[in-house]
Amino acid sequence: MSDIQIWSLVFVGVSFAVYLYIAWRSRVKETAGFYVAGQGVPAVANGAAVAADWMSAASFISMAGLIAFMGSDGSVYLMGWTGGYVLLALLLAPYLRKWGKFTVPEFVGDRYSEYVRLIAAVAAIIVSFTYVVGQMRGGGIVFSRFLDLSIEGGVVVAAIVIFMYAVLGGMKGITWTQVAQYTVMIVAYLIPAWTIAQKMTGFPVPQVTFGQILAELDALSEQFGLAAYTEAFAARPQIDVFLVTMSLMIGTAGLPHVIVRFYTTKSVRGARFSAFWALVFIGLLYTTAPAVGAFTKLNLMESVNGVAVDALPAWVGNWQATELVTVADGATTITTLSNDPTSGADLIVNNDILVLATPEIAGLPAPIVGLVAAGGLAAAMSTAAGLLLVISSSVSHDLYFRVVKKEASESQRLLVGRIAMGLAVVVAIYGGINPPAYVAQVVAFAFGLAASTFFPILVLGIFWKRANAVGAASGMIVGLVFTATYMIYTLEVFGTPANEHVWGISPEGIGTIGALVNLIVTVVVSKLTRPPSEHVQEMVEEIRYPARRVAARVSETE
């Protein structure tokens, strides 16, 4: 066993033991604890949990790799995800917390109707399953490289650990586990970044210093047959850059597993402070990712430039064993590089390995490599646990309790929720073993589905009293079907052949069009049908203007 595997086992083993211990200490027996942690989580802790829940394997493992190969066009992920979080924190979270329910479908049911709740619950399950596939894949990649397992075996192990602590503690256990996971994640991301920045530029602040290497990076990229790193719209058409950014933004603001986090605080004020702290914690990683992408790509190209195949550095052979790095048949010297397996380049490097391989490529010591492995697993598992809880709550609370058996006891609802989570893990394992794309791309598909289903009806539900149940149901169904159909059309999913993008719109960007379709359908149908009841319109008024309602009540009694 190599030093890297030993240190990986140490860091991963210790972190797993901490997660399971927290889950055991936080185990719950009531639905409020299982779904919203008893609404008693302090703002700072909830901010760290939100950050861990939101910064998935896509952020930790795949985003810097995409930026490395997409160059400036990779900023769509930075702008979309970060901007979307700000949109969620300012536009939706405080109002939804004021409503004070367990789940997003529950808000939808109260605001519109029970059958719209059913549609929302099904949509939440679809979005969460799509998202969790990327997390399982990320966990499998980490296990495959650092713990000498196949990717398939790694996906299974990651799923079992997630299932154990999510089932034990529910939202309460997941919340405090995610606080620990954020700590592991951010330390594992920043230490290599600081070290490499010091090594390459003489100053250990990557956000400040990575600009010094961009000219060299542009020149070397072109030498390898790639577009200049700083060239705009080289990887995507301009229209698609806009659409992907917007889809990620409004998709973030419609993600059920992130929204439910704001239900766990003690008050609306706590939800607002949670949003602030989460943005601080998220910013630590997101301002570092572009530097990691630039430094790692430069190190990668310098380490293989003009090198004979039989003299390639050790990291290439290590990652070849996972089949995520490939040397072309017949290549004798590395002169071309790509992340596209069909490009015919001498060396093919999968986007998803760059962050995990960063310490090895830079020649950092084995303990740092092991720490990064633990961080990658923390990122994958923190988000996967939150997604599994959304699936569980949608099945047990919004479907079983509200539709199948309204008189179900708390113990019965908890049992159904845990069974649903177990079944969800099985499906997630299959998706993690057979993903349709890179980790960050799979996650982007989930954001597109969330954008086209939840965002319009949540915004209209809070800010437009005239939106009604028929309009919301029509908009959600049309938006979801339109977006999912386009994704399946352009990807190899369910055995379908991939087709060309229509008007240059990628499957990651179609969520913007889907959201617009949803919005138009909801508004038009709502206008053509009866308005909501006075009771519902009063609820909307109260959630937005509580002081006005109090004043009205006072005047009525005078």
Q: What is the pLDDT of residues 499-530, one digit of tens each?
A: 788 888 988 899 999 999 999 999 999 999 99
443 located within any domain: no
Cα distances (Å, whole numbers) of residue 419 to 124, 383, 397: 17, 19, 13
pLDDT band at 493 (very low <50, low <70, confident <90, very high): low
Find the domain containing 145 and state its range.
Answer: 3-26+43-296+364-431
pLDDT band at 553 (very low <50, low <70, confident <90, very high): very low
Average confidence (pLDDT) over 78-107: 79
Per-residue pLDDT, 430: 83
Token digits of residue 408: 């179900």
Q: Do residues 250 and 452 make contact, with C-beta atoms less than 8 angstroms apart?
A: no
CB atoms within 10 A of CB 344: 12
Average confidence (pLDDT) over 437-464: 85
Q: Pick the more confident residue, 97 or 245.
A: 245
Q: Pick the more confident residue, 545 or 334.
A: 334
Average confidence (pLDDT) over 432-454: 79
pLDDT at residue 551 is higher than 50: no
Per-residue pLDDT, 334: 93
492 located within any domain: no
Amino acid identity for residue 201 in this structure: T
Pairing of strands 347-349, 325-327: antiparallel
CA dist 205 and 427 (Å) reads 42
332 located within any domain: no
547 located within any domain: no
Per-residue pLDDT, 131: 80
Q: How does pLDDT run across 22-69, given as a tens digit for each residue? A: 877 766 555 555 555 555 677 788 888 888 877 777 788 888 888 888
Q: Do residues 181 and 378 make contact, with C-beta atoms less than 8 angstroms apart?
A: yes
Instruction: Compute the mean pLDDT over every residue in the chain, rounded to the nearest whole number.
Output: 83
pLDDT at residue 407 is higher than 60: yes
Per-residue pLDDT, 440: 63
pLDDT band at 256 (very low <50, low <70, confident <90, very high): confident
pLDDT at residue 464 is higher than 80: yes
387 located within any domain: yes
Report pTM.
0.82
CATH number of domain containing 400: 1.20.1730.10
Per-residue pLDDT, 325: 92
Q: Pick the more confident residue, 476 or 422.
A: 476
Dihedrals phi, psi of 160, to nearest 5 degrees: -65, -45
Sign of the Cα pseudo-torsion (144, 508, 490, 500, in order): negative
List Cβ neighbours of 405 (8 Å cut-off, separation of 6 or more): 412
Q: State what percent of residues in the chain have pLDDT above 70.
A: 89
234 located within any domain: yes
Q: Do residues 447 and 410 make contact, with C-beta atoms less than 8 angstroms apart?
A: no
pLDDT band at 292 (very low <50, low <70, confident <90, very high): very high
522 located within any domain: no
pLDDT band at 552 (very low <50, low <70, confident <90, very high): very low
Query: In this structure, what DSSP letter does residue 177 have?
Result: H
Average confidence (pLDDT) over 2-18: 86
Token digits of residue 354: 């760059």
Per-residue pLDDT, 453: 94
Most confident region among 23-32, 102-111, 282-291 by mean pLDDT: 282-291
3 state SS of 499: coil
CA dist 430 and 443 (Å) reads 16
Q: How does pLDDT run across 133-189, given as a tens digit for each residue? A: 777 887 888 877 777 778 888 888 878 877 776 666 566 667 788 888 899 999 999
Q: Is 503 left (phi over 0), alpha (psi -120 to 50) or beta?
A: left
CA dist 480 and 519 (Å) reads 12
**Number of domains the chain contains:** 1
277 located within any domain: yes
Question: Closest Cα to residue 386, out of 174, 181, 184?
Answer: 174
